[in-house]
Amino acid sequence: MPYIKEFFDESTSTFSYIVYDKPHGTGAIIDPVLDYDYKSGTIQTVNADKLLEFVTKKKLTIEWILETHVHADHLSSAQYLKQKLNSNAKVAISKHIILLQKTFQKIFNLDFNTDGSDFDYLFEENEIFSIGSLSAQALFVPGHTPIDTAYKAENALFVGDSIFMPDVGTARCDFPHGNAEDLYNSIQKILSMPDDIILYMCHDYPHNRAVKYQSNIHEQKLYNIHVKDNITKEQFVSMRQTRDASLEMPALIYPSIQVNMRAGKFPQPEENSKMYLKIPLNLKFDKS
Ligand SMILES: [Fe+2]
């Protein structure tokens, strides 16, 4: 059974995780957050340092830094962690990152290699890998984005942005190459897994309760407001599209995508040694 420690970033409602085989053993960090204050353009590493503190306390060797997708609501601290861990930790994501890199390179007019090589490792669909002595698997769950991946470690499934807690529902599907029908199919794949699988959320957005990071398949089938048992694919797609049309863009979408599509790497400094992020004006996402 894996050991799992959750971390919550209140400002973006994001959960990061460390999953490991044993104290003094080997682990993976999932979806680490870099603190970014939009108003001042300031970056801090408070969240990432909490992960490092835990790694030190448990004397872990971090083998993987896993991204479930190119997040649009927070910046990834993968590169900071990799540098601090001074290890061979591999920053990894779905092989379909190449599709998003090509799309966003055009949107941001940036000069970088769109072959996925900013990442250390690209997963194939259903690829089996190990985290120390834990058996793990990369399961593609497209819909929110085309590259969303749920990582399974023994009976723990880190679902990324697909399904949320039952009273919150599911992830939006209106980013480039997002697709509500794909999300429905991905969620059915998750819900068809054995009942002993424990689901670990990527976010939680509760209204009248404390945040929760864990759910299970049984309660999702019974209570998830978007995908519970008697909701058809057609009903889901129609609900999702209507709801998505009413949602604002996430506050950090432009900074996040520029950094996260390159495994957490920042743009090259300009002649004055300063780094800048771009904001495209009057952009209309092509949702195809
Ligand atoms: Fe997301």
Q: What is the pLDDT of residues 20-32, one digit of tens each?
A: 999 999 999 999 9
Q: What is the pLDDT of residues 202-216, one digit of tens each?
A: 999 999 999 999 999
> Does 119 reside within a domain?
yes
How confident is residue 88, by pLDDT bands cut at 50, 70 and 90? confident
Query: Residue 186 maps to which CATH number?
Result: 3.60.15.10
> Does 273 reside within a domain?
no
> Does 204 reside within a domain?
yes
Q: Rounded to the nearest whole angstrom, what is the distance from the C-alpha of residue 273 to the centroid of ligand 1?
A: 31
Q: Rounded to the nearest whole angstrom, what is the distance from the C-alpha of residue 128 to the centroid of ligand 1?
A: 23
Contacts of 47 (CB under 8 A, 6+ apart): 7, 9, 16, 32, 33, 34, 35, 77
Q: Rounded to the nearest whole angstrom, what is the distance from the C-alpha of residue 165 to the centroid of ligand 1?
A: 15
Domain that holds residue 167: 3-260
93 pairs with which residues across the strands? 122
Instruction: Count the domains in the chain.
Output: 1
> Does 280 reside within a domain?
no
> Does 279 reside within a domain?
no
Q: Rounded to the nearest whole angstrom, what is the distance from the C-alpha of residue 249 to the centroid of ligand 1?
A: 11
> Does 277 reside within a domain?
no
Q: Report the chain's C-alpha Rg in angstroms.
A: 18
> Does 36 reside within a domain?
yes
**Which of 81, 71, 91, 77 shows the shortest CA–CA distance to 43?**
77
Q: What is the pLDDT of residues 180-195, one digit of tens each?
A: 999 999 999 999 999 9
How confident is residue 229, by pLDDT bands cut at 50, 70 and 90? confident
pLDDT score for 287: 52
